[in-house]
Chain A
Amino acid sequence: MITARVTVTLKNGVLDPQGKAIEGALGALGFQGIGQVRQGKVFDLTVDTDDRAKAESDVKAMCDKLLANTVIENYTISLD
């Protein structure tokens, strides 16, 4: 069993209204000097195999097919 963590983030240049709102809220709480906030998503998956190369290629396919919209998002995969 392999655990994989997928992190999906917006590509540079893609407008992130939610990140902007969070940025504003942090400023309102008195946090100083926040350059920019970008909101993303994290997926933790368990893959029923001991073959790390297979797990990585399977998770990559999952990202390309569903977990990320590569028009607007990038993703990274880390295996435990």
Chain B
Amino acid sequence: MKSAVVQLPGLNRDRDMITALTMISGKPPVTIWQTETEIPDVDLIVIPGGFSYGDYLRCGAIAARMPVMQAIKAKAEQGVRVLGVCNGFQILVEAGLLPGALMRNASLKFVCKEIKLEVVNASTDFTRAYAEGQIIRCPVAHHDGNYFADAETLKEIEGNSQVVFRYAGGTNPNGSMNDIAAVTNARGNVLGMMPHPENLIEAAHGGSDGRALFASALDVIAA
């Protein structure tokens, strides 16, 4: 599988993401700059975390309107897998590729710590290497990760199994509704998540619970 990582001014988790994708797929991803309107032929596009455009106006709002996002939207409509982590998740909701919005953390504080996630849906392209109900560890680092959706949207995404991960064991770090940590679009090929699986993939990180996410998305699951 070929992958790509989006680079925008202010995104700073791109190198961690490139390392994770390289380690797990065995080949480095291509990088896509914000002004590009043609996306190379890849199977997975990743928007990493950071503070695109200084998070001015609203987190991810300006990045979501860059030319590259139109190109990513077109790829997503063709069924290409798109993963947004942290600021990448915020960009995907601002671009309308995912439902809901990400608000300021209920505590008003930036949270940087490890939380627990429950794998709520293990039949997505991004979670097949996990077991349903499995509890994994994952780091978070954000100020605006408080997932909000109106009652109708919430009912819809819960009903369609679009909620993929929930904060587990009372570790919801931001006040997200229904403990939602990750959602997909209706088709299931676009995933946004606040936690950082790319920062828990090898022993040096203190664990590798995030590895299965990339193994799923990159189709490198051992048969």
Q: Which residues of A contact B (CB under 8 A)?
A: 13-18, 21, 65-67, 69, 71-72
Contacts and interface: CB of A to CB of B under 8 A. Distances in A.
B101 A17 contact: no
B108 A21 contact: yes
Contacts of B146: 15, 17
A72 B94 contact: no
A7 B217 CA distance: 42
Contacts of B94: 69
Interface string B43-79: 0000000000000011001100100000000000000
Given A15-B106, A17-B105, A66 B65 contact: yes
Given A66-B57, A69-B58, A72-B148, A15 B103 contact: yes
Contacts, number: 38
B11 to A, nearest CB: 19
Contact of A71 (B57, B100, B105, B175): B100
A15 B175 contact: yes
Contact of A18 (B61, B100, B104): B104
A69 to B, nearest CB: 6
B150 interface: yes
Contacts of B108: 17-18, 21
Interface of B: 57-58, 61-62, 65, 93-94, 100-101, 103-108, 146, 148-150, 175
A65 B65 contact: yes
A24 B105 CA distance: 16
Of A16, A21, A66, A71, most buried by chain B (CB within 10 Å of CB) is A71
Q: Which label, helix, strand, loop or mixed, suits the secondary structure of the B interface? A: loop
B24 to A, nearest CB: 33
A67 B125 CA distance: 34
A16 B175 CA distance: 11
B101 A72 contact: yes
Contacts of B103: 14-17, 72
Contacts of A67: 57
A13 B150 contact: yes
Contacts of B175: 15, 17
A13 B101 CA distance: 13
A21 B100 CA distance: 23
Nearest to B103: A15
Contacts of B107: 17
